[in-house]
């Protein structure tokens, strides 16, 4: 998904430094300072327009959430919602998740979410998949021991690849569903992402996994 930068996004970002960070390099070990209350911190990498992370922040006020997104044209939508909602437990970061260990201290996060990450189906693009081992190494550093990685996708190829990649990396599966929307128990707490709604409407299955580092 490539979104054009909106004419209003730069100004909105400049006007709201309390909600969005453009350079998180000096934040490692200090993320709690960005939130009103000290709570466990959970990160979504590749938040798109933010439907999931906003829903999570509303549903779980006792958790602090960070939305990290590399596209200005996408994160501007999350910021627009946040300016209206003023959720005390939501912070935004315009940055690339490749450098997570520069942005977070070891064990600073409780959990990470990857939702409908770009599948990069060509073998030569394997390193760009957010479940490639180099990314997993970064996640493991910043997520606490026994913390979780939750992943949802409509893409069977990416899901199968990710199962193998996480397994080879030594992660332990806590839950796997090959049809999330027909799993009553998981659906009780499932917050749908924008892509999830789009693909579900088309009749596509949603794959889900939750694994421990
Ligand atoms: C296919 S969209 C899915 C958006 C949203 N998670 C959803 O499910 O509706 C993937 C998003 O991940 C973002 N993304 C991809 N690679 C990223 C990276 N390395 N760091 C941060 N964001 C990334 C893209 O810019 C895009 O907005």
- Residue 168, helix vs strand vs coil: helix
How distant is the alpha carbon of residue 68 from its chain centre? 7
Ordered by start, the domain boundaries in the chain are: 26-198+208-212
**pLDDT tens-digit readout, 116-128:** 999 999 999 999 9
Alpha helix ranges (H) inside 86-192:
100-103, 133-142, 156-168, 184-187
User: Which residue in 184, 40, 25, 8 sits closest to 111, CA to CA?
Assistant: 40
Tell me the Cα Rg of the chain. 16
Which structure tokens are listed for 85? 């909602």
Residues annotated as catalytic (active site), given as ranges: 118
Per-chain mean pLDDT for the chain: 97
pTM (whole model) above 0.95: yes
**pLDDT tens-digit readout, 71-93:** 999 999 999 999 999 999 999 99
- Is residue 187 within 6 Å of ligand 1 at its C-beta? no
- Is residue 115 within 6 Å of ligand 1 at its C-beta? yes
Does residue 58 register a pLDDT over 80?
yes
User: Which residue in 149, 154, 107 sits closest to 132, CA to CA?
Assistant: 149
As a CATH number, domain 26-198+208-212 is 3.40.50.150
* Residue 187 alpha carbon to ligand 1 centre in Å: 22
């Amino acid at each position: 998904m490539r979104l054009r930068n909106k004419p209003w996004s730069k100004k909105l970002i400049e006007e709201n430094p309390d909600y969005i960070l453009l350079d998180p390099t000096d934040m490692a070990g200090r993320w709690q300072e960005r939130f009103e209350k000290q709570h466990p911190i959970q990160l979504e990498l590749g938040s798109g327009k933010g439907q999931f992370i906003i829903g999570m922040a509303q549903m779980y006020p006792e958790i602090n959430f960070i939305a990290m997104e590399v596209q200005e044209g996408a994160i501007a939508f999350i910021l627009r919602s946040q300016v209206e909602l003023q959720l005390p437990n939501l912070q935004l970061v315009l940055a690339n998740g490749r450098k997570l260990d520069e942005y977070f201290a070891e064990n600073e996060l409780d959990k990470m979410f990857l939702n409908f990450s770009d599948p990069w189906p060509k073998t030569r693009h394997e390193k760009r998949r957010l479940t490639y081992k180099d990314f997993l190494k970064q996640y493991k550093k910043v997520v606490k021991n026994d913390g979780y990685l939750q992943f949802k996708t409509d893409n069977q190829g990416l899901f199968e690849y990710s199962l193998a990649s996480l397994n080879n990396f030594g992660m332990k599966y806590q839950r796997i569903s090959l049809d999330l929307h027909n799993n009553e128990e998981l659906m009780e707490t499932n917050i749908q992402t924008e892509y999830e709604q789009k693909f579900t409407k088309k009749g596509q299955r949603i794959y889900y996994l939750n694994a421990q580092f």
